[in-house]
Amino acid sequence: MNNKLDKKTVKKGILPYLFLGIIILGVFYVFNVLNKDVHKFTYDEFIEKLDNGKIKEVLIVPRGGGYVYDIVGTLEGYKKNESFEATLPLSEEVMKKIVTASDEQSFKVKVKPDPDASSLLLIVANVLPFVIFIGVAFWFFSKQMAGNKSSLDFGKSRAKLNSDKNKITFKDVAGLKEEKEEVKELIDFLKNPKKFQKLGARIPKGVLLMGPPGTGKTLLAKAVAGEANVPFYFISGSDFVELFVGVGASRVRDMFQQAKRNAPCLIFIDEIDAVGRQRGTGLGGGHDEREQTLNQLLTEMDGFGENEGIIIIAATNRPDVLDPALLRPGRFDRQVTVNLPDVRGREEILAVHAKNKIIADGITLKNLAKRTPGFSGADLENLLNEAALLAVRRDKNEITMSEIDEATDRVLMGPAKVSHKYSENDRKLVAYHEAGHAVIGLKLKNASDVQKVTIIPRGSAGGYNMMVPSEEKLCSTKTDLLEEITGLLGGRTAEEIIFGEITTGAHNDFEKATKIARAMVTEYGMSDLGPLQFEQQSGSVFLGRDYNKPQHFSNEVANEIDMEMRKIIDECHKKATDIIKKNKSLLKLIADALLEYETLTKEQIDYLVENGKMPEEDEENLESLSITKLRKIASEKGIKDIDKKNKAELLKELDKTI
């Protein structure tokens, strides 16, 4: 395939140069012809010049089978581009005169064979120019036709027919058990429609897959294509919309015409929100092209015409912006929400992505699934891939827990800024801040389990505390939310108690705490204002709908909302202060361990709380020991930068000190 493409590319590259060469040769030929100064002599004039000895050179060319001679030559005093021509009849007398004069006057005489005597040369001389001309004209004509063809195809559908290459089936889609059952029904109908028609059942005309990014909506559609033995067309919503009004509608019509010719079939439209947004929205009015395209799609899905045997599957992560007419029964009859996977789903997803990876013994996917709540399928795939890349970078033969921990941190917060240097005072502030979060998490009954605490900066954070719920819940209670706010305020509270000073490090904690407190008051009815909803959950702002959204409560109620939010935050802050004051020794213990080791895992924290000291490290954990100690040993040896080569030696020195 590549060789064919290369040959085509070479041909396309040579043709313009070949054409340019022909033009240059033609220009040179015309230039030479125009620059020549040719004198036409009669028979008498030629004989006169011959008798007077003026001829310098003569070329005799027989023509017409030897009955006529063309004489071409130059005279004395002629310039370089100057010559004469004469046509003489066949005559022995004339030839004798030319030969005698040549001997006497010593000028050159050349004789060429008759070109008419060679039929091949005659054909080449007469036919070749026409062949070249026709070839050049055909090349220009074909290029023009190709351009016209592409312009004629402007309104054609961009939907592509799925091939059997890289076939994905339901076996490759982990989790999503209920979602797979919903789309399996479509395939069953296409394979055996009589089973449904027997009871008068009508299969849905459209299925809308909606959910957060990375949850597997497109992957599920690919699996449907792999399982179905019918034509499967796939297209993106953005492929319909063009600059010119009417093109998108034309492409929708053409797509359904193709589908009708191949019915029964499936059509998959990815990111349908690009074309299916609500009509009449947007600043300054609607979008004419998008709205015409949407109108055509609505008509094709459920209008006067019937599209029997055509089932549409669409995917989006913005169902809130879709036009209501698109979501009504008869169009997208069935709406399947593809949510983030639960712990069992995460374990199955990890099993799929761990097939081609070498994972160290002792690491179970079940435990790893428990450590990653809130991760989508794409996040889990990226997690294992990052862990594998780290293992290769560290010259390991298998993926250990150290790489998985680091990969988890990378996915959540970004790569560690190991080379980032900050003062001891800043390190102490960050250590006590993160230790404050950990103490609240350890002492509150309904708080999340502390999985990891680190003061190594990542992204814009100087450190972070990974807290995972002890069990995944469908909904949260008021106590759960209050304790979550208390945990978020633990860092600022520790700063106030230990240093008597506050820093900017808690701005992200305040952002999350304020958001939870406002939702408790305005959405969940968890305040003294009662079970009233003043606001609704909203994702990204949709201009034209949310830009000038009215406020459905008075200024007095707005003031009460602010007071209730402040009351919740103040109560949680007071509770966090009481807990940290009672557990000041535990706070100092965790903070000192963080200053020495920089990163603490759940097992180390539990051991530290129970025994008051860190567990003994073995050789396998040497690599995860304190970077601070490594830097200290490196500075003693005069090593400025810790790289891959000198790190092994430094670890050996560190091993001696343990």
Give the active site residues.
434
How many other CB atoms are found less than 10 A from the CB of residue 140? 11
- Report the Cα 604 to chain-centroid distance in Å: 40
DSSP designation for 154: G
Residue by residue, DSSP assigns 298-364 as HHHHSSSS--TTEEEEEEES-GGGB-HHHHSTTTS-EEEE-----HHHHHHHHHHHTTTS-B-TT--
Which residues pair with residue 337 across a beta bridge? 210
Distance CA 624, CA 626 (A): 7
Do residues 341 and 311 touch, judged by C-beta distance below 8 A?
Answer: no
Structure tokens belonging to residue 246: 């009417």
Q: Which of 266, 169, 178 lies closest to 223, judged by CA? A: 169
Q: Which of 301, 304, 298 lies closest to 278, judged by CA? A: 298
Q: Residue 525 is inside which H or E element, if any?
A: none
Residue in the block written with tokens 């862990």: 387
Q: Are strands 37-41 and 599-601 parallel, antiparallel or unpaired?
A: unpaired
Contacts within 8 Å (CB) and 24+ apart, 358-365: 358/397, 358/398, 358/399, 359/398, 359/399, 360/398, 360/399, 360/400, 360/401, 362/401, 363/399, 363/400, 363/401, 363/404
> CB-based contacts of 314: which residues, under 8 Å, 6+ apart?
206, 207, 208, 209, 268, 269, 270, 272, 276, 332
Q: At what angle do helices 584-597 and 555-582 cross, to 10 degrees?
A: 80
Residue by residue, DSSP assigns 422-462 as --HHHHHHHHHHHHHHHHHHHH-TTSPEEEEEE-S-BTTBS
Distance CA 348, CA 176 (A): 10
Q: Which of 188, 184, 183, 189 lies closest to 202, judged by CA? A: 189
> CB-based contacts of 132: which residues, under 8 Å, 6+ apart?
22
Q: Looking only at Cα atoms, what is the longest distance across the chain?
A: 139
Q: Which of 80, 86, 71, 70 lies closest to 37, judged by CA? A: 80
Residue by residue, DSSP assigns 9-63 as HHHHHHHHHHHHHHHHHHHHHHHHHHH-EEEEE-HHHHHHHHHTT-EEEEEEEEE
By 3-state DSSP, what share of the chain in percent is helix, strand and coil, each rounded to 5?
55, 15, 30
Residue in the block written with tokens 């402007």: 154
Do residues 288 and 245 touch, judged by C-beta distance below 8 A?
Answer: yes
Helix, strand, or coil (residue 487): helix
Residue by residue, DSSP assigns 570-620 as HHHHHHHHHHHHHTHHHHHHHHHHHHHHSEEEHHHHHHHHHHSSPPPP-GG
Helix, strand, or coil (residue 528): coil
Determine the length of the chain. 658
- Residue 585's φ and ψ, nearest 5 degrees, are -65, -40
